Amino acid sequence: MRMKIFLAALLLFSTSFTIAADKGSFDITKRSLAPTSDENVRFQPVYQNEDWKASETAVIVCDMWDLHHCLNATRRGVEVAPRMNQFLKTARKNGSLIIHAPSSCMKPYENHPGRKRAQGAPMAPNLPKQIAEWCYSIPEEEQGVYPIDQTDGGEDDDPVEHAAWAKELAAKGLNPRAPWTRQTDLLDIHKNDVISDNGVEIWNVMEAEGIKNVILVGVHTNMCVLGRPFGLRRLASNGKNVVLCRDLTDTMYNPKMKPYVSHFTGTDLIIEHIEKWVCPTITSNQLLGDEPFQFKKDTRPHVVILVAEREYATNETLPKFALEHLGKEYKVTILHCDEEGQGTRDDIPGTAHALKDADVLLVSVRRRALQAKDFKAVEEHIKAGKPIVGIRTANHAFSLRGTEPPEGHMVWEGFDAQVWGGSYTGHHGAGKAVTIKKLADHPILEGVDVDGFDGTGSLYIVNPIADSTHAILTGTIDGEPTEPIAWTNKTKFGGKAFYTSLGHVGEFEQAQMNILLKNAIDWAASE
């Protein structure tokens, strides 16, 4: 009798789970972050193109509940859901398996065919250990530092709004701390989809369907998306080719907690953490063919920072500056050269990708010849009249002093004159104190105490600067002519430019340098 029941169940499952005919494939570009050195401190983006058979791909929808105890989280869920539904429809149409996983909400679906399919899936012979358990960390993550403080639960509501929201939920007979009852109705559940919040069931289903590739969408990235039994950590550590769709997610992060950045920057930091230690990410437009999704309130200008110099440790000072001074208002992408010298010293991977939507480019580069595609992206940014900011060695960023660049690489010998309006010829010897003086009023100098600002690096020889420039700071050392050390310019191509020869480690240790550079970026990003 038991055998008959088993065979009947197996027949039902097999009928329901006939592997979809190949209706299509997906051109996937996975992004991960690889360390530039053994220190595991600075990273380069790595892009890997793969052709995924749709029939071997599953999309797991994590915890897209109808309601949440955080009102802002509820609002963001409502905003992203239509885009997510479009993504699911496209994946489904091409033959992918859609798995809906609204945790703790199985009751409304107990009679749904998708729920029965999950329950009826045959036990996989390779069922991983602990696949039924939450995963708080995997060994790879021990190499890094978790980037945000979420110990308060991550709620970013206005306190008055939050109290009113809790009262509204209670009035509906719901638990204000856990008000979810089902998946949001903004996501369609097809009769051939699967419904489960159980790690064992989901693994069994995927193995029965021959699923090799998994895309995670849903919330919240730093909690359920990472930690659920069907989340990124478990799937990655057990051999699935899993990715996070980074524009179809959200994070529980409160900007009042460390590192005191905006909510959306908090999400970016978690995504970076995932790309370093857990798995790669993709974007929804890789299936939909338009632009990635962006929340309406995420109005941050995008600052791209290129770092490729060894003399002034801006590979350390600029990331710290960006996190502390730009994280509340800007989206920041920091790109580093290969610090170990294992690749080509000139390469700054990810430049072309990042500059596609950059609003401001910040350059801290010394005598590098970029790969042609990356060089052209820099050139296009500048020639389009987009703003650029440079510090210290940026006035000889792409000059090799007339030496031929490596094959496939390009230089810009006229960069200093055409972009900064400068004429760098060298510098005075190190160890001589530089006296900084204000030359003219400018918004970039707002809050900068020039009298308390000490130049600690060698004074650059840059005179004469072009008539198109507006010098705002000068530097002087004993016995030598005064030199401009900070100025604005209208580039040859009509864009805004700011350059300063400041940027030594000792200068970044002073508040004045950080205020100056933040003001310069604000000025560059302004209309």
pLDDT exceeds cutoff 80 at 303:
yes
394-425 pLDDT, tens digit per residue, is 999 999 998 999 999 999 999 999 999 999 99
Looking at the structure, tell me whether residues 410 and 476 fall in a common domain. yes
Looking at the structure, tell me whether residues 352 and 426 fall in a common domain. yes
pLDDT exceeds cutoff 80 at 525:
yes
Considering 288, 316, 350, which residue would you say is the last residue of a domain?
288
Considering 241, 266, 288, which residue would you say is the last residue of a domain?
288
Q: What is the mean pLDDT of residues 145-173?
A: 98
Looking at the structure, tell me whether residues 150 and 199 fall in a common domain. yes
- pLDDT value of residue 341: 58
CATH number of the structural domain spanning residue 275: 3.40.50.850
CATH number of the structural domain spanning residue 379: 3.40.50.880
- Give burial (CB, 10 Å; 0-12/13-18/19+) of 9: middle
pLDDT averaged over every residue in the chain: 94
pLDDT exceeds cutoff 70 at 302:
yes
Strand order of the β-sheet with 331-336 is: 331-336, 302-308, 360-365, 388-391, 496-500, 483-490, 469-476, 434-438, 454-455
DSSP code for 416: I
Q: Which of 136, 122, 133 is nearest to 201 (CA)?
A: 122
Looking at the structure, tell me whether residues 173 and 137 fall in a common domain. yes
Looking at the structure, tell me whether residues 255 and 349 fall in a common domain. no
Q: What is the mean pLDDT of residues 515-520?
A: 98
Q: Is residue 248 part of a domain?
A: yes
Phi, psi at residue 93, to the nearest 5°?
Answer: -60, -35
CB 215 within 8 Å of CB 248:
no
pLDDT exceeds cutoff 70 at 23:
no
pLDDT exceeds cutoff 90 at 71:
yes
Q: Which domain holds residue 430?
A: 302-525
Helix locations, 359-467, DSSP H: 372-383, 415
Considering 253, 288, 323, which residue would you say is the last residue of a domain?
288
Q: Is residue 61 part of a domain?
A: yes
Q: Is residue 293 part of a domain?
A: no
Looking at the structure, tell me whether residues 375 and 254 fall in a common domain. no
Quote the CA–CA distance of 82 and 78 in Å, as a whole number. 8
pLDDT exceeds cutoff 60 at 371:
yes
Quote the CA–CA distance of 337 and 370 in Å, as a whole number. 10
Q: Is residue 73 part of a domain?
A: yes
Looking at the structure, tell me whether residues 427 and 316 fall in a common domain. yes
432-482 pLDDT, tens digit per residue, is 889 999 999 999 999 999 999 999 999 999 999 999 999 999 999 999 999
Q: Is residue 16 part of a domain?
A: no
Domain count across the chain: 2
Confidence of residue 430 (pLDDT cuts 50, 70, 90): confident
Looking at the structure, tell me whether residues 267 and 330 fall in a common domain. no
Quote the CA–CA distance of 325 and 518 in Å, as a whole number. 7
- pLDDT value of residue 6: 36
pLDDT exceeds cutoff 70 at 7:
no
Distance between alpha carbon 394 and the CA centroid of its chain, in Å?
25
Q: Is residue 421 part of a domain?
A: yes
pLDDT exceeds cutoff 80 at 431:
no
Looking at the structure, tell me whether residues 417 and 342 fall in a common domain. yes
- pLDDT value of residue 19: 34
Confidence of residue 339 (pLDDT cuts 50, 70, 90): confident
pLDDT exceeds cutoff 90 at 429:
no
Q: Is residue 295 part of a domain?
A: no
- pLDDT value of residue 40: 84
Quote the CA–CA distance of 221 and 228 in Å, as a whole number. 11
Q: What is the mean pLDDT of residues 333-355?
A: 86
190-223 pLDDT, tens digit per residue, is 999 999 999 999 999 999 999 999 999 999 999 9
Looking at the structure, tell me whether residues 96 and 240 fall in a common domain. yes
Q: Is residue 5 part of a domain?
A: no
- Give burial (CB, 10 Å; 0-12/13-18/19+) of 3: exposed
Looking at the structure, tell me whether residues 268 and 410 fall in a common domain. no
Q: What is the mean pLDDT of residues 213-242?
A: 98
pTM of the model: 0.93
Confidence of residue 16 (pLDDT cuts 50, 70, 90): very low
Looking at the structure, tell me whether residues 265 and 329 fall in a common domain. no
Element (H, E) at 268: helix 263-277
